[in-house]
A = this chain, B = another copy of it.
């Protein structure tokens, strides 16, 4: 749900039949005015040319937008893949009337397969510069195995921040996420934008994990064209954070095969970084995820997962406290009545796990989802 639109951004979507159906799978988002930008990318050692090209494009913190091809990652495709990425960007830039160096390229989907360039050339050649602000269409067109589009907007003063995101599997962002793009008409200096964006990413998109698998294509970018004039910096960061957090919750809830959102709130850690490591270990544990899926009050698996953090020598099981929602389970095991309430909490759409390590003041919250037979089914059958 996004009620507001930033001024001066155009959206184009088209169907290039990247795989054999009719849905839109090519998206161009572009600012009519010059814009400042910031972006973070996957840290994979097997990045695709889209990431390489986009890293270079955003290096000067000036970019107007992005062209996205869904359902083919264009990764592990060699020199031909790089040439194709550059041609896709050149064609998109020509169609919407900007310099090619002002566009990022993003692509997710199957790895190791070349783009069908004939079809992409036809579709990109037919794009017109006509104004359209249908960000909902863009949120749909960038999807791969997502079951629902992810879009949210927030206001700060006279300006708007809008964000879209996709990604439900192969998803443990580290420096970034799969694909998420933010557009704003706030006027903001490149350094301020970059600093705010990185802080927001750290506690939102870098705090979500569906299945521990890091994509080769993760890209998160923000574009600010200034058409709404100056904004209060703190208010802007709050709007960006709210938008990003809502997208993250939507992504975790829509994790491949997922039926529940899991939030792991860690506090009492040595520092925030330790709290994040512990939270990630718990939210990624297949045994915690399956127990949540089955509403199994098997809280001992959370203790096991904390125990996996073998390098955290200051974690002492005698000082740890564990709760689900408001139901404490460790060190005092729940009685029958509490187990009943625990099962009821596990049956809900959002499961909250609270861990207090009892060391110091570090805290962090991570987001994930349950592991289901649907995840296995979907990923056993993906390309065949």
Contacts and interface: CB of A to CB of B under 8 A. Distances in A.
Contacts of A170: 287, 301, 304
A329 B113 CA distance: 12
Given A44-B307, A76-B303, A303-B46, A290 B216 contact: no
B45 A315 contact: yes
Nearest to A378: B290
Contacts of A294: 379-382, 384
Interface residues of A, number: 69
Interface stretch (A55-63, A157-165, A224-232, A368-376): A368-376
A377 interface: yes
A115 to B, nearest CB: 14
Interface in A24-81: 42-47, 73, 75-76, 78
Contact of A306 (B46, B174, B373, B379): B46
B47 A307 contact: yes
Contact of A317 (B45, B113, B285, B296): B45
A193 to B, nearest CB: 25
A318 B76 CA distance: 9
A299 interface: yes
How many chain copies? 2
A291 interface: yes
A304 B376 contact: no
B379 A373 contact: no
Interface in A295-351: 295-301, 303-310, 312-313, 315-317, 320, 329-331, 333, 343
A213 interface: yes
18 contacts: A43-B310, A44-B304, A45-B306, A45-B309, A45-B313, A75-B300, A76-B303, A111-B300, A111-B303, A214-B308, A215-B304, A287-B379, A290-B376, A294-B380, A296-B381, A296-B382, A296-B383, A375-B376
Interface of A: 42-47, 73, 75-76, 78, 110-113, 169-170, 174, 211-216, 284-287, 290-291, 293-301, 303-310, 312-313, 315-317, 320, 329-331, 333, 343, 371-373, 375-377, 379-384
